[in-house]
Amino acid sequence: MSNACSWRVGRARWLAASLWLVGIVGLALWLTVRDRFQPWAVGFYMTPAPVLAVLFVLAGWMWPGGKCRKTSWRPWRSLRGLSVAAGCACAVWTWWTEFPAEARPAPATATRIAYWNVGHCRMGVKRIAAEIGRWDRPIVALVEADVKGTLTEELWRAELPGYTIAASHAGELVAVKGDVTGQQEYALTPFSSCSRFDVAVDGRELTVLIVDIASNLLVSRREAMEKLAGIVAGLNDRPVLIVGDFNTPDSSVWFEPLRQCAKSGMRTAGTGYAPSWPMPLPVLTLDQLWFNERCEVFSCHCGWTVLSDHRPLFAEVQPPVTSRH
C-alpha cells in the first residue's frame, strides 16, 4: 500500500469511527435516559432518528475499501454491512415514529387552526401575512412575531385585515376571525414564556396558550415544562389548545407532566411528516400542538414554506359550543 493510500485509509477510518461513536452514543441516549441529565441532553437533541440513519450510512460509506485495501485484514466488509443495517433500522424507526397516520374526518363545524414560528419576520411581515391569508384559518397563533425585537401590532393589523390581533411582550401573537376576550402572560423561566389568549369564534370559546421555550441546549427543560403543565392543569374547566415552539422533541422525558393533563395533536390525530425544524430538511419535532380533554382534535399536520426555518402547523379542532343564557 502506498503512503498516500495509507494516509487516506487512516483518515477515512478515523472519520468513520467518529461517526460511529456519535451514532452509538446518540442511540444509547434515545433508548435509555434521553434528555434527563445535562450535559448528555445535548447529545439527545442532536441525534434524532433521521440524523442517526444518515450517520450510520455515512460511516459505512466512508469505511476504507476498494483499491486501497491490499492488506490481509478484512473486517471492513462486515463493518460496512453493519453500518448499512444500522442506518436502515434507524430509517425504519423514522418512518414508524415520524409519519403518523391518525387523522379523522372533521365535522363541518370544526375550527381550523394554524400555528407558525415566523422567525422574527426576517422574510418580512408583508410576505408572511400574505402566506397566512392564503391559509384562510379563523385562528392563527404566531411565535417570534416581532420585527427586530419590536412587536408592532398595528403592522400586523394592517397586513391581516379581518382579523382581531392580540400580542404579548414576549413576541407571541394571535390573529382571530372573531374576538379576543382575555389575555395573560406567564414567565416559565427567564427565557421561556407562555401567553394565554381567550378567543371566541363562531359561537365557540377556546383558550389558546402560545409557548416559546428557551433554545439553549445546556439548559434543562424541566422547570419550564413543569410550570406549563401546572398552568394547563389549572385551566381544566375550559377547552385549551397549547401551541408553540417547545425547542424540545416531543419524545423528551420532560413532557411527562404535560401528558398528565393534555394530549399531543400530532400523536393522536396527526398525518404526514412530523418534524418541523430546521427547514429545508427538518429532523426535530420542535413545533407542537397539544389539547386538553375538553377539546377535540381531528387532524394535525405540518405544512411547507421557505419563509421561516420552522414549518407551520395546521389542525382542525372542535371546542364545545358556548352556552348562552
CA angle 314, 89, 80 (to 5 degrees): 135
Whole-angstrom distance, CA of residue 48 vs CA of residue 193? 25
Give the residue from 73, 74, 89, 77 showing the smallest Cα distance to 24. Answer: 89
Q: Is the pLDDT of residue 49 over 50?
A: yes
Other C-beta atoms lying within 10 Å of the C-beta of residue 68: 16
Average pLDDT, the chain: 91
Residue 195 scores a pLDDT above 90 = yes
Percent of the chain with pLDDT over 70: 91
- What pLDDT band is residue 9 in, cutting at 50, 70 and 90? low
**How many CB atoms sit inside 10 A of residue 65's CB?**
16
Report CA-CA distances (Å) from 213 to 1, 120, 237, 289: 54, 15, 25, 14
- Residue 179 clears pLDDT 70, i.e. is over it: yes
- Residue 52's pLDDT band (boundaries 50, 70, 90)? very high
pLDDT at 104: 92
Q: In 3D, which of 20, 101, 6, 30 has the Cα closest to residue 283?
A: 30
Q: What's the pLDDT band for 323 if we cut at 50, 70, 90?
A: low
Is pLDDT of 285 > 50? Answer: yes
Note the Cα 114 to chain centre separation in Å.
Answer: 14
pLDDT of residue 1: 52
| Residue 189 one-letter amino acid | T
Q: How many CB atoms lie within 10 A of CB 70?
A: 10
Mean pLDDT calculated for residue range 297-306: 96
Number of alpha carbons in the 13 Å side-chain half-sphere of residue 88: 6
SS3 84: helix
pLDDT at residue 12 tops 80: no
Q: In terms of residues, how long is the chain?
A: 325
Query: Per-residue pLDDT for 56 more than 70?
Result: yes
C-alpha cell at 83: 453500518
Quote the pLDDT of residue 73: 45
Beta strand extents in the chain (DSSP E only): 111-117, 139-143, 164-167, 173-176, 179-189, 192-201, 204-212, 240-245, 263-264, 287-291, 296-302, 313-318
Is pLDDT of 82 > 90?
A: no
Lowest mean pLDDT among 57-66, 107-116, 137-146, 172-181: 57-66
Averaged pLDDT, 282-308: 96
Which residues are 92's β-sheet partners? none
Domains (range + CATH), the chain: 3-98 (no CATH), 111-318 (3.60.10.10)
pLDDT for 240-269, tens place per residue?
999 999 999 999 999 999 999 999 999 999
Q: Supply φ then ψ for residue 195, to 5 degrees.
A: -115, 135
SS3 state of residue 314 = strand
- What pLDDT is attached to residue 255? 98
CB-based contacts of 215-222 (< 8 A; 24+ apart in sequence):
215/247, 216/191, 217/41, 217/42, 217/45, 217/46, 218/38, 218/39, 218/42, 219/189, 219/191, 220/35, 220/38, 220/41, 220/254, 221/35, 221/246, 221/247, 221/248, 221/252, 221/254, 222/254
Over residues 87-109, the mean pLDDT reads 94
Q: How deeply is 271 buried, as exposed, middle or buried, from its count of CB atoms within 10 A (0-12, 13-18, 19+)?
A: middle
